[in-house]
Amino acid sequence: MIAGIGTDIVAVARLGRLYRRYGERLLDKLLAPGERAAFDRASASVDVAESADPVDSTGSDDSAAPAFVRPARFLAKRFAAKEALGKALGIGVAAPATLPNVRVMHDATGRPGFEFAPELAAYLAERGIGRAHLSLSDEADYAVAFVILESAPPLPAAPEKPAPAGITGSEAERQ
């Protein structure tokens, strides 16, 4: 069952300006600890002639993009994903769903997903949220994210005790 839906769109240039202005301080506020290495890879200048795979860890082909666009696009996608998650939760980007408590990652096939800090994972479990689905897309100027939260399947109910043979109606209820 769907527990929440959220979407967000971010201008890549806006995150690029924020990164140029605040640098490491922005990264500390926006990225989860596990996202820093991926950011560093996305930020590195890639010589297309030397690179066997110009597609970055986010699934975008940024090989022709200027070096400053790669970190801006990386940050825009993460920010959009985290904002969309906050909207799906109905609390926005507020404790425990703070930006550094949410890691955007990709599985072996490139499908995006989330990894949550322990306090956020506990918050989701308390509310019966079992899965968070993420879709990311970007173009030159914008990044967009869509999140669907799915409630955890309820635990199976204990089977009802069958009435003993020959007892019916109100007699069975008294048993």
Query: What does the alpha-carbon distance between residue 64 and residue 116 come to, in Å, rounded to a whole number?
Result: 33
The answer to whether position 42 is within a domain reads yes
Helix, strand and coil in the chain, % to nearest 5: 40, 25, 35
Global pTM value: 0.76
Query: What does the alpha-carbon distance between residue 150 and residue 50 come to, in Å, rounded to a whole number?
Result: 43
Q: Give the DSSP letter of residue 17.
A: H
The answer to whether position 13 is within a domain reads yes
Q: What is the CATH number of the domain that holds 145?
A: 3.90.470.20
The answer to whether position 166 is within a domain reads no
SS3 of residue 33 by DSSP: helix
Query: What does the alpha-carbon distance between residue 111 and residue 134 come to, in Å, rounded to a whole number?
Result: 8
Q: What is the pLDDT of residues 62-76, one digit of tens each?
A: 444 444 568 999 999
The answer to whether position 161 is within a domain reads no
Q: Give the DSSP letter of residue 53.
A: -
The answer to whether position 135 is within a domain reads yes
Q: Which residues are annotated as a binding site?
A: 8, 83
The answer to whether position 164 is within a domain reads no
The answer to whether position 74 is within a domain reads yes
Q: Which residues are annotated as a binding site for Mg(2+)?
A: 8, 83
The domain in which residue 91 lies consists of: 2-46+56-153
Please indicate whether residue 154 or residue 97 has the higher confidence score (pLDDT). Answer: 97
Count: domains in the chain: 1
Query: What does the alpha-carbon distance between residue 80 and residue 145 come to, in Å, rounded to a whole number?
Result: 5
Q: What is the pLDDT of residues 110-159, one digit of tens each?
A: 999 999 999 999 999 999 999 999 999 999 999 999 999 999 876 566 66
* Rg of the chain on CA atoms, in Å: 23
The residue type at 93: V
The answer to whether position 173 is within a domain reads no
